[in-house]
Amino acid sequence: MSIKMITDQAYTMIEGGICAAKGIRAGGLNCGLNPDPDKYDLAMFVSDTDCEAAAVYTQNKVKGAPILVTKEHLAKNGGKVRAVIANSKNANTCNADGMEKAEEMCALAADAMGLKTEEIAVASTGVIGETLPIEPIRSHIDALAADLSYDGGGRAEYAIMTTDTVAKEVAVEFTLDGKVCHLGGMAKGSGMIHPNMATTLNFITTDAAISSDLLQKMLSEIVKVTYNCMSVDGDTSTNDMVLVMANGLAGNDRIVSDAGHPGKVEEAPTTGYGIVYKALWLVMVNLTRMLAADGEGAGKFITCTVKGAKDDKSAIAVAKSIISSSLVKCAIFGADANSGRIMCALGYADADVDVSKVDIDLASDAGVMPAYRNGYAESFDEDFAKNLLSCEEIEIRLDLHDGAGEATAWGCDMTYDYVRINGDYRS
């Protein structure tokens, strides 16, 4: 499914994903973890110079060994990372030898590229609870290192995809201190998506110069209104990670202050920090939308916008509650204007809402239909509603008429194919 991109006139959307930034080489290949020789399963990318780094990880109590090793390496290396190695097909989670295998992946990558082990971040995605075979990785690491190129981002992206049906890459170009800068990312994810920090595997690089502390600050804030406002199926993965790396090769003055911090991402940035912040938001929000639209078995992309909440936190709670509702998702799948399910999901959201003030509209390219006014259902034409909900992109709009809080959340419908895919996942 092709969805509209969110753009900004001050930023140019470009190709390249993680390789849009200067000095980033990437690659991918099949090492044998995936029995399909045409499906890549091992990826790596490296910066020509040291990178300031920031990351957020799953809040699931069960965490994959790669998460723990990456956190440890960032701490040991003063918040810097030089390269990433990642595999699909096996999550390396809940395994007695998981930490050992994750560390060995880093050591293999370091040896192949002439780096230190602690300069490497590692990530894995796939089946939980199956021992990760290390020999296929060990025997293909030199070939993977030789495959790295400045236009290899697409190969790396293909290697981390699991049940994804489309590649997810976004990049922007912008100017900072008279220097042309780039910020781009890649993501994978289709199922087991209901984040509590981030979701899936997401890697973002930039050639802008900025401190790791400020990268961490903006990443932790932006994730709350992007990845954390998405749900496909209500399951928070054990291996979720978002890693941002900045190598400074664009040549701008290194950003060391968050002066000019944007109050809202819609506002035009006025400082270096604000400009990079907006670039990171643009990449993350578009990757979020792409992830939601490619939910397992999905046929429709759903956006839920909430305004008039008591505060932004309340707005997020309402939007996420609605986008996560299995009954709402099923109604959208069936093009059934059963909007009482939306009111139901609103009612159990963890937010203070006066339901007697609530207005709800359903919208798509076919038009707009008032569903509720002042908490009561509106009459509607069934044929018009069916046509409206048969479009690929559906918007649920709420006005709570109770404050200035607002939020947007993203998701997809739930189809028969979701059950089929997950009933036979290991094959």
- Domain limits, the chain: 12-293, 301-423
pLDDT at position 427: 55
**Class at the top of the CATH hierarchy for domain 12-293:** alpha beta
pLDDT per residue as tens, the chain (427 positions)? 678 899 999 999 999 999 999 999 999 999 999 999 999 999 999 999 999 999 999 888 899 999 999 999 999 999 999 999 999 999 999 999 999 999 999 999 999 999 999 999 999 999 999 999 999 999 999 999 999 999 999 999 999 998 888 899 999 999 999 999 999 999 997 665 676 655 579 999 999 999 999 999 999 999 999 999 998 766 677 888 999 999 999 999 999 999 877 777 878 888 999 999 999 999 999 999 998 888 776 789 999 999 999 999 999 999 999 999 999 999 999 999 999 999 999 999 999 999 999 999 999 999 999 999 999 999 999 999 999 999 999 999 999 999 999 999 999 988 776 667 667 665 5
58, 70, 199, 303: which is the annotated catalytic residue? 199
From residue 219, alpha-carbon distances to 184, 203, 276, 313 in Å are 14, 12, 11, 18
> Distances from the Cα of 307 to the Cαs of 127, 313, 354, in angstroms?
39, 11, 13
Instruction: State pTM to two decimals.
Output: 0.93
Residue 163: the pLDDT is 80
Contact indicator for 184, 169 with CB cutoff of 8 Å:
yes
Active site includes 199? yes
Predicted local distance difference test score (pLDDT) of residue 141: 98
Q: Where do runs of H (alpha helix) occur along 294-352? A: 312-324, 326-333, 340-347
Equal fold, 12-293 vs 301-423: no
Using the structure block, give the residue that is written with the tokens 């203070």. Answer: 352
Q: In sequence order, what are the residues at sequence separation of 6 or more whose Cβ sits closer than 8 angstroms to the Cβ of residue 3? A: 289, 290, 293, 301, 392, 393
123 neighbors 239 (Cβ within 8 angstroms): yes
> Distance between CA 101 and CA 35 in Å, rounded?
20
3-state DSSP call for residue 142?
helix
Q: Which residues contact 55 (CB under 8 A, 6 or more apart)?
A: 70, 71, 74, 121, 216, 219, 241, 242, 243, 244
- pLDDT of 195: 63
The angle at the Cα of 153, spanning 151 to 249, to the nearest 5 degrees, equals 70
Query: What tokens does 423 get?
Result: 């009933």
Q: How far apart are CA 110 and CA 395, in angstroms?
A: 46
Q: What is the CATH number of domain 301-423?
A: 3.10.20.340
Torsions phi, psi for 204 (to 5 deg): -130, 135
